[in-house]
């Protein structure tokens, strides 16, 4: 994977993964699903807001809190 340097603004995160990897494919599938299912996109956004409020300094718990919802989207 080519290396590039960029700045992630405060309050955002970056999860790079190699193009073509399972992680890459999952990101694209979730993105595409949310683009065509606005109700689910809204629920996902609200869920992320709740997790961000609950775990403002614990990124691992924030990510873990999204897992079941994301797996559900990937199984659609």
> Binning pLDDT at 50, 70 and 90, where does residue 5 land?
low
Verdict on whether the full-model pTM lies above 0.85: no
CA distance 64 to 60: 6
- Tokens 């869920």 appear where? 47
Predicted local distance difference test score (pLDDT) of residue 3: 54
Six-digit token pair at 50?
């709740």
Give the structural domain span for 32: 22-74
Rg (CA), the chain: 14
> Is 10 inside a domain boundary?
no
3-12 b/e (C-beta count within 10 Å ≥ 16 → b): eeeeeeeeee
> Is 54 inside a domain boundary?
yes
> Is 26 inside a domain boundary?
yes
Percentage of the chain exceeding pLDDT 90: 64
> Is 5 inside a domain boundary?
no
How many domains are there within the chain? 1
> Is 41 inside a domain boundary?
yes
> Is 58 inside a domain boundary?
yes
pLDDT digits 0-9 by tens, 48-70: 999 999 999 898 999 999 999 99
């Amino acid at each position: 994977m080519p290396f590039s340097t960029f700045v992630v603004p405060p309050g955002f995160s970056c999860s790079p993964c190699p193009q073509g990897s399972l992680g890459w494919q999952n990101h694209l599938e979730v993105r595409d699903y949310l683009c065509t299912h606005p109700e689910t996109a809204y629920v996902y956004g609200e869920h992320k807001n709740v997790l961000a409020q609950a775990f403002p300094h614990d990124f691992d718990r924030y990510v873990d809190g999204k897992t079941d919802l994301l797996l559900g989207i990937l199984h659609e």
